Amino acid sequence: MTKKEDLLGTWALVRWETTYDGGRTIYPMGEDAKGFILYTTDGYMSAVLFRSDRALFVSGEALTADDDEKVAGWNGYYSYGGPFEIDGNHVIHTVAHCIYPNWVGDTQVREISFDEDRLILTTPPQKTRRGTQTSRVIWKRAN
């Protein structure tokens, strides 16, 4: 049984992998993706995952960049956050903000496991256009 205290603090991304029912595995932000997940004492979390090779905007501007730059930026970055709670060996993230607006107001449930100093958060199987998938996001304590 996982306790809230087991998650508290900052964790650095080791790997984000998604495996499909046929056994094919992909790395949504690349095999060398970067990121952090933070769990705070007041019951909030925030996660950010991104490609390590994200291209700089040629325009040099965030809000007025051209559409191609914005799409490339979106495709290489993911973040969400909000309150969290523990239920047995699951963490429930209630999404208050997200780069993907469809998640706002939703809950995201992850199975919690630990492998030595690693925190592993696993999604339940999800049906997508590409098939049924399960994602594992592996974190280590940030130092």
Q: Extract the tokens encoding 72.
A: 């490339």
Residue 129 belongs to a domain with what CATH number?
2.40.128.280
Q: Identify the pLDDT of residue 27.
A: 97
Q: List the domain range (segments joined by +) for residue 90.
A: 4-141
Q: What is the pTM of this model?
A: 0.93
Provide the domain count of the chain.
1
DSSP assignment string, the chain: ---HHHH-EEEEEEEEEEEETTS-EE-TT-TT-EEEEEE-TTSEEEEEEE-TTPPPPTT--SSS--HHHHHHHHHTEEEEEEEEEEETTEEEEE-SEESSGGGTT-EEEEEEEEETTEEEEEPPPEEETTEEEEEEEEEEE--
pLDDT digits (tens, 9 = 90+) for 114-126: 999 999 999 999 9
List of the chain residues with pLDDT < 50: none
Q: Identify the pLDDT of residue 48.
A: 98
Closest CA to 10 of 40, 54, 51, 42: 40
pLDDT digits (tens, 9 = 90+) for 7-23: 999 999 999 999 999 89
Closest CA to 49 of 102, 12, 96, 8: 12
